[in-house]
Structure 1
Amino acid sequence: MEYFGYLAAVIIGLSLGLIGGGGSILTIPILVYLFKIDPKLATSYSLFIVGITALSGCFSHYQIGNLKIKSALYFAVPSVFSILVIREVIILKIPNILFTINDFPVTKSFLIMIIFAVLMIAASFSMISKTITQTQVLHTNYWQLSAIGAVVGIITGFLGAGGGFLIIPALLFFANLPMKQAVGTSLLIIFINSAIGFLGDLYIHTPINYTFLASISSMAFIGMLIGTRLSKKIDGYRLKPIFGWFILIMGIYIIVKELFLRS
């Protein structure tokens, strides 16, 4: 299964390079089901893998003028605050076993995977619908951009996902960015969010296997290079519905596995 995991890691980077998001939502299932990593630890690993991969993509987009630093900071600052509150305060207070239903223990890990699956299904519908179109506005709405950043920070903090599927629409609608600039700016935001979340986990002494992280991140980096190059030739809008169907299937699989196929 690990061989499939390394191949899937390439898809993480490929998605980030092509559409500025989506790859992070794959990382948790890959780590949990293909590498058998505990979901809580997988959220920490996901932050590292996604963050370092997004950083590599930032350089390419910066060189071609696709990074809008001001919009990224208005989004990232409240997002980082939410991440720190969730990961350093709230998650630590959640017990490993929340409650029991008919001898079925609802654990913290189970809750993370179910919420993640619901998030994946919701994200898939937004990708499949093909309804994201950029509206013409007169100025950037930085207050709304910051508010959405805070929401994405909650998601990133709890689930270890970069929230790119929310960041892209926010940058299109509220920062008035063209698609390619939204992709590049999204990568910068994902890097900032992921880096802060991961460093916070180091502070609370989360055990980290850096050799494993380096191997997965290197595969994702290869995917990022491929995706960034392809993004110059392929319209990201055309890829979103295809990726959306893939995410939908994975989300349904996680729910079925966690509810009915638990070993």
Structure 2
Amino acid sequence: MMFEPTIWIGAILMGLSLGLLGSGGSILTVPLLVYIAHEPEKAAIAESLLIVGIVALTGSITQFLKRLVDFRLVVVFGLPSMLAAYFGAYLSQYVGAQVQMLIFASVMVLASGFMLRPISALPNSNNTPNSINSRVDDFTVLQYLLLIIAGIAVGTLAGLIGVGGGFLIVPALLFIAKATMRKAIATSLFIIAMQSFAGFMKYTYLQSTQELSLNVPLIILVTVCAVFGVLLGGKVVNKLPQARLKQVFGGALIPLSAFILYNNV
């Protein structure tokens, strides 16, 4: 099973999507682990958090070197998200695996909707110079509150079902924080890493109570392939039509979410 080509290909595609879009790819990790690697659902969610955290952190390092990660947004959005991810992982012990997968499929449909939305409809998608240096200091109280609430919602989902939530983080940073597209993608990767590690820490604590066994060789394999994908995506992100990529990815999520729903109802 470790040498199943579909595992390698799926992991590379997951990382590639994260590198290109700052979102979406992590939502492939749980289905990859459950339906191709045949991991138990709860173990797959925990493993997904670790894999996604490492891959997102790798991608964010390259963006940090380009000075695209906005650490003021990391504090306002990322810290609440990280704490909420820990709480979401805590909640997982009271939620059945089938319910988690149904929630996951529903979130996947939501992600598809965000992906299919034309990128031109998003604010600051053209990276205009006037918006590049937007400051958190200029935020209104309402913007602060909205960012915190969005961070809590995304983090809770991340901890509960193992998604990175970039498809929600990027629009939130664009609409609420008025960040540029490039900064939203870069900052999203960093926030995904924060919340993923926080959620995984709680799952490791719950291992003894839930009899959760992690497949370390599989985690290493998927992580290595996905890191290759995210680095490749970071290299070619400015050379590919991002709007078209988002729509193709969003369209592909629809049958995948239907498959998960079918297998859990």
**TM-score bracket relative to the smaller structure:** 0.7 to 0.9
Distance 1:238 1:179 in 2: 15
Distance 1:22 1:75 in 2: 19
Q: 1:213 to 1:239 in 2, by over 3 A?
A: same
1:99-158 deviations in whole A, cap 9, x for unaligned?
Answer: xxxxxxxxx222111211111112102211216411679944222111100000111011
Q: CA deviation at 1:20?
A: 0.2
Q: Which amino acid aligns with 1:27?
A: T
Tell me the secondary structure at the aligned position of residue 232 of structure 1. helix
* Paired residues of 1:134 and 1:173 also in contact (CA < 8 A): yes
Structure 1 window deviating more from structure 2 (230-239 vs 213-222): it is 230-239
Q: CA deviation at 1:249?
A: 1.7
1:40-78 deviations in whole A, cap 9, x for unaligned?
Answer: 111100001100000110111011121001101211111
Are 1:92 and 2:93 matched, yes or no? Answer: yes
Q: Which residue number in structure 1 is paired with residue 198 of structure 2?
A: 196
Are 1:82 and 2:81 matched, yes or no? Answer: no
Q: Which residue number in structure 2 is paired with residue 102 of structure 1?
A: none
**Mapping of residues 145-156 of structure 1, within 5 Å:** 145-156=147-158
Q: Which residue number in structure 1 is paired with residue 107 of structure 2?
A: 119
TM-score (norm 1): 0.88
Structure 1 window deviating more from structure 2 (190-199 vs 73-82): it is 73-82
Task: Select 1:208's aligned residue among 214, 238, 243.
Answer: 214
Distance 1:245 1:83 in 2: 27
* Paired residues of 2:56 and 2:193 also in contact (CA < 8 A): yes
Distance 1:257 1:211 in 2: 27
* Paired residues of 1:71 and 1:142 also in contact (CA < 8 A): no
Q: Which amino acid aligns with 1:92?
A: Q
**Mapping of residues 165-244 of structure 1, within 5 Å:** 165-205=167-207, 206-244=212-250
Task: Select 2:12's aligned residue among 7, 10, 13.
Answer: 10
* Paired residues of 2:29 and 2:48 also in contact (CA < 8 A): yes
Q: Which amino acid aligns with 1:175?
A: A
Are 1:46 and 2:48 matched, yes or no? Answer: yes
Q: CA deviation at 1:93?
A: 2.9
1:69-98 deviations in whole A, cap 9, x for unaligned?
Answer: 11012111111222222212x22234xxxx
Q: Which residue number in structure 2 is paired with residue 129 of structure 1?
A: 117
* Paired residues of 2:83 and 2:198 also in contact (CA < 8 A): no
Distance 2:117 2:214 in 1: 38
**Identical residues among aligned pairs (%):** 34
1:188-216 deviations in whole A, cap 9, x for unaligned?
Answer: 00000001111121222343222221111
Distance 2:30 2:215 in 1: 16
Q: CA deviation at 1:235?
A: 4.4
* Paired residues of 2:48 and 2:163 also in contact (CA < 8 A): yes
Distance 1:27 1:40 in 2: 13
1:207-261 deviations in whole A, cap 9, x for unaligned?
Answer: 32222211110000110111111112224333211110011121112122333xx
TM-score (norm 2): 0.87
Unaligned segments of structure 2, at least 5 residues: 125-130
Structure 1 window deviating more from structure 2 (120-129 vs 186-195): it is 120-129
Are 1:65 and 2:63 matched, yes or no? Answer: no
Q: Which amino acid aligns with 1:111?
A: V
Distance 1:66 1:222 in 2: 21
